Chains A and B, each alone.
Chain A
Amino acid sequence: MHDSRRTRLVLGVLLAVALALITIDARNSSASPIRGLRALGGAIFGTAESLAGAVARPVAGFFAGAGPRSHSQATVSALQREVVQLRGELSQAQLSKAQAAQLRSLLQVAGRGRYRIVAANVVAAGPAYEETVTIDAGSADGIKPGETVLNGAGLVGTIASVSPHTATVLLVTDAAAKVGVRVAPNGETGLVNGLGRSQPGPAHLRLQVFDASAVLRPGEPVVTFGGWPYAPGVPVGVITRVVVNVTALTKIAYVRPFADDGALGVVGVIVVPPRHNPRFAVLPPRPRPSTSPVPARTASPAPTASATPTATAG
């Protein structure tokens, strides 16, 4: 059975099937064979992942604070404290205490925005190019595709697909994600999209404000605008850099997300959006992130433009 016509025949058939699947999926990702395959994968692997997640969570959680993915100083110090805690007593009770802390802050955010949420755990993360995670709650818990996911810090992403007991979250930092936002003090509207893995270093978002004459300053927080698929008022991040480009029709800025996608634990899915737009009420009462990160950030992740402390273009 070394290499024969049969082998080549099998190889050819398999390649043809793969190409056919790719083509069908690229044309219409909701076609029935693809949807069936994904549902099957969700049923099989999702269950296994939510089981394995319970085992793997301590492992991933142990390393969570040690890596270079946690960026903001507040997060770093918080996670370092958490790591010290974890190393002190690596027990399930301790882990669930950390989870309880995350859940508490999540519930605070949900209470401020009057979101009705379903809490879930992140059990798996996507492969190299993708910024996706799996959570251990699915359609059995009332989760539907398109709903907003947040954690105690801010916006996490949106539900991309559900299976009975798991759901896939497309993170804000993914290159396919686009969020309509509102910049805090003045209320300019814009669009935030993720950059994927196209830039080294910490994940950043790209903010595009439609009004070219808007004045943006680093440190201003950004919340979701509302409207499908995102619930209104969820904190997204804080502006770190404003790109000065006089000829552009829109204003470009870079936003550091509040939620660190490398250290996601307990998240909540907004199953019922609030009746009234909370606008900026969900933001922390004092503009905590606007004071700390600006002098601290020395690394400039985007090579495209120069950073200016105040941008007055247009």
Chain B
Amino acid sequence: MRRVLLATAAVLAAILLQVTVLNNLPLPGSAPPDLVLVVVVALALAGGPLEGAVIGFAAGLAVDIAPPASHLVGQSALAFCLAGYGCGRLRGTLERSAWLPVTAVAAGAAAGEALYALVGLTFGDPDITLQSVRQVLPYVVIYDLLICPFVLYAVARLGGYAQWSGGAAPAGLLTGRELRLSGAGLLGLAGAGGAVRDTGTGRSPRLRPAAAHRADAWISAGRGQPGGAGARVDRPRPLRLRLGGGVAGSAAGGQRGQARPPRLLPAVHLRLAAPRRRDGVIATRRGAAGAAFSVGRAPAPAGRSAGLRGASLSGGPSALRSPRPRRFALPPPLRFSRPRRSAPPPPSRFSRPRRFALPPPPRFSRPRRFALPPPSGQPGRAAKPRTARLRLGRRHRDAVVGGGRLASGTWSGGASRGGQMRPGSGSGATPRFRRPSARRQRSATRLRSAGPKFRRPRTRRWWPAGWRRGRKPIMGRGGKR
């Protein structure tokens, strides 16, 4: 609720400031900056694609109907909505550098302006001709670029985006701080040395907020805010075991006092082919999860499509016995489907189980979720000679296969590369969403997951599915008008 109010207030203030002050300023060039678009893009960058699209649409519609505007109603709404959505997609990928958010805002603003002009050209607005676009567009983009550090800083600072996720909202934890970081760094409020620290080790994010140190300039700048980031740093951090790859105090997520794990982007949905009637037994057992990790030792046949036999999955005591009480070597977030009575759905792409019919994917898979009824019965119950649909992918550094041993030390190699496989740690010493690693993880997951029947379609695309197909008719219809 607070987010909604703050976003609304920010957008309304931006609109009023735009029409009453900025449009009246006799700036050199033939166009003023578009503050509203920059605010929308900054909010989207902190909020995500859904929020970005909604905020962009609402702000654009407000711009369209705010009195001095005489362009088509919906023109800004369309442009801002797409710009907000696109920049929301970039949320979370911007952790590496303080400059990336600024670049993203600039790119989003430029794209939004170009889209606005394109819609105007398409619909024959007399004000928007090729000549006037050539006159106006460069100035608008340059001015947007000039004001975007200020807007980023103001949005992060005034909105306290870093705190918004303090409640139950699983929002971008780091983004607000990153925004603030970049804004502060660019504003020169803090020297670059104090604000970011280049650690340059391969596994960790290159630029990190120097979170744990009090004397850092940007943190002390935020300290005056009650409950702000500065106040949180002073709290003792809970002891946490770090696995490999992290440097103490460098954790991107460790700045916050509570052990709040970063949100995982592409949740690994490893399906154990649960919709079959008997597989449910396997899937709901802790032993199965353990077995999934002991398959590194299991005599799995070579070749990626080699199915994991049910016997090796649930039968052998060697597979089920966990060598030691694992605190960290928990499986990647599994999504278990409930055993169904009915026949499995027909094999099509759309036949994946509905969202609400499933338990939510364990976000940072607490161990409790897997502590289902202990395998009291004999393990051989599910050991029908039937192929469980768990496929092994033999990737080189894959956490599952390449791990080899179950000792937690060896986990670190694969796990920190995967970036998502360390359920209990939450130290955040690994980058949150590193794109290449996420991709690798996904590919490994796809290889490992059930057959083509339950293959999960890719969700992290840059544009929604069917976008290219859908674009043409839309523009064609527009052009006809």
A interface residue numbers (CB < 8 A to B):
1-4, 6-8, 10-12, 14-15, 17-27, 29, 34, 37-38, 40-42, 45-46, 48-49, 52-53, 55-56, 59-60, 63-64, 66-70, 123-134, 160-161, 163, 166-168, 170, 174-176, 196-200, 262-263
* Contact between A18 and B28, CB atoms less than 8 A apart: no
Residue of B nearest to A37 (CB): B65
User: Which residues of chain B come closer than 8 Å to A29, judged between CB atoms?
Assistant: 72
Are B16's CB and A125's CB within 8 A?
A: no
B48–A2 contact, CB under 8 A? Answer: yes
Give chain A nearest CB distance to B432 CB in angstroms: 12
20 A-B pairs within 8 Å (CB atoms) are namely: A2-B48, A2-B263, A8-B464, A8-B465, A15-B474, A22-B74, A22-B123, A34-B73, A45-B16, A45-B62, A56-B24, A68-B28, A124-B23, A128-B140, A129-B125, A130-B69, A134-B19, A174-B127, A197-B136, A199-B135
Closest to A46 in B: B67
Decide: A26 near B132, CB < 8 A? Known: A126-B19, A134-B19: no
Task: Knowing A22-B123, A198-B132 are in contact, say whether A128-B34 is a contact too (CB < 8 A).
Answer: yes
CB pair A21–B20 under 8 Å, yes or no, is no
Q: Which of B21, B69, B72, B132 contacts A126 (CB 8 A)?
A: B69
Residue from A64, A126, A134, A176 within 8 A of B26 (CB atoms): A64
Contact A41/B67 with A18-B77, A19-B474 known, Cβ cut-off 8 Å: yes
- Of B49, B62, B78, B132, which contacts A41 at CB under 8 A? B62
Say whether A38 contacts B73, CB under 8 Å.
Answer: yes
Residue B53 interfacial (CB < 8 Å): yes
Of B73, B132, B170, which is within 8 A of A197 by CB?
Answer: B132
Q: Which residues of chain A have C-beta atoms less than 8 A from B74's C-beta?
A: 17-22, 25
CB distance from B381 to the nearest CB of A (A): 37
Q: State how many residues of chain B have any CB contact under 8 Å with chain A.
A: 74
Partner of A124, one of B61, B68, B129, B474: B68
Complexed CA–CA distance, A64 and B24 (Å): 8
| CB contact between B68 and one of A63, A126, A262 (< 8 Å): that residue | A126
| With known contacts A19-B74, A38-B73, A59–B21 Cβ distance under 8 A | yes
Bound: A41/B66 CA distance, A:
5
B128 at the A interface (CB under 8 A): yes
**Partner of B460 from A3, A38, A160 at Cβ < 8 Å:** A3
The closest CB in chain B to the CB of A138 belongs to B67
CB of B30 within 8 A of chain A? yes
- B472 interfacial contact with A, CB 8 Å: no
Whether A134 contacts B50 by the Cβ 8 Å rule is no
Hey, which chain A residues are within 8 Å of B123, CB to CB? Answer: 22, 26
Q: Which of A25, A55, A134, A161 contacts B72 (CB 8 A)?
A: A25
Partner-A contacts on B (CB < 8 A): 12, 15-16, 18-21, 23-28, 30-32, 34, 48-50, 53-54, 57, 60-75, 77-78, 81-82, 85, 88-89, 91-92, 117, 119-120, 123-129, 131-132, 135-136, 140, 170, 263, 265, 459-460, 464-465, 474, 477-478, 481
**Contact call A22/B459, Cβ cutoff below 8 A:** no
**Cβ of B66: which chain A residues have Cβ within 8 Å of it?**
41, 45, 49
* A70 proximity list for chain B (CB < 8 A): 26
Given the known A-B contacts A11-B49, A52-B20, are A127 and B132 also in contact in the complex, defined by CB atoms under 8 Å? no
A63-B26, A124-B23, A126-B70 known; A10 vs B53 contact (CB < 8 Å): yes
For B25, what are the chain A residues with a Cβ–Cβ distance below 8 Å?
60, 63, 67
Contact residues in A for B71 (Cβ distance below 8 Å): 127, 129-130
**B88 CB to closest chain A CB, in angstroms?**
8
Complex formed: what's the CA distance from A263 to B62 in Å? 26
Q: Given that A67-B27, A128-B31 are contacting pairs, would A19 and B129 also be in contact in the complex, using a CB cutoff of 8 Å?
A: no
Q: How far does the alpha carbon of A14 sit from the alpha carbon of B50 in the complex, in Å?
A: 11
The reply to whether B464 and A11 contact each other, CB–CB distance below 8 Å, is yes
The smallest C-beta distance from A68 to any residue of chain B, in angstroms, reads: 6
A129 near B127 (CB under 8 angstroms)? yes
Q: Which residues of B contact A168 (CB under 8 A)?
A: 67-68, 70
In the complex where A15-B81, A45-B66 touch, is A66 in contact with B26 (Cβ < 8 A)?
A: yes
Q: Do A163 and B68 have beta carbons less than 8 Å apart?
A: no
| Residue of B with least CB distance to A8 | B464
- Which of B20, B26, B48, B131 contacts A69, CB < 8 Å? B26
| Nearest B residue (CB) for A176 | B126
Contact status B132-A134, CB under 8 Å: no
Q: Which of B19, B53, B85, B132 contacts A125 (CB 8 A)?
A: B19
Residues of B within 8 A of A23 (CB): 478, 481
In the complex, chain B residues whose CB is within 8 Å of the CB of A46: 67
By the criterion CB–CB under 8 Å, are A18 and B81 in contact? Answer: yes
Select one of B12, B70, B478 contacting A19, CB under 8 A: B478
Question: Which residues of chain A have C-beta atoms less than 8 A from B64's C-beta?
Answer: 21, 37, 41
